[in-house]
Amino acid sequence: MNRLRIVRRLAEGEATVTELIDHVGLSQPLVSWHLGKLRLAGLVETRRAGRETLTRLLPEAWDQFATYERRVLGLARAGGAGPRSATP
């Protein structure tokens, strides 16, 4: 749930770790841990700007993940467009 809250915040735009801490109400080590998992999954990237670490969501990676998830859950047609009809 915390990673989803982080991703939702990043969907609004790039954020510093401090901003993410304030948004989700977690400690810095825990936010950094979640960001590490999201980075390993290829969903976010980070960059240094002076003393701050900025994180952004990678839209192309998120779109690929969402498409994969819809396909696995049977919510998308083979072509990837729209939900599947209830009739065979």
Indicate the domain borders of the chain.
2-72
Residue 75 has pLDDT above 60, yes or no: yes
CATH architecture of 2-72: Orthogonal Bundle (1.10)
15/68: higher pLDDT: 15
Residue 37 has pLDDT above 70, yes or no: yes
> What pLDDT does 85 receive?
39
> What pLDDT does 77 receive?
63
Give the residue-averaged pLDDT of 57-64: 83
Cβ(57)–Cβ(44) below 8 Å: yes
Give the residue-averaged pLDDT of 55-84: 74
Give the residue-averaged pLDDT of 41-62: 90
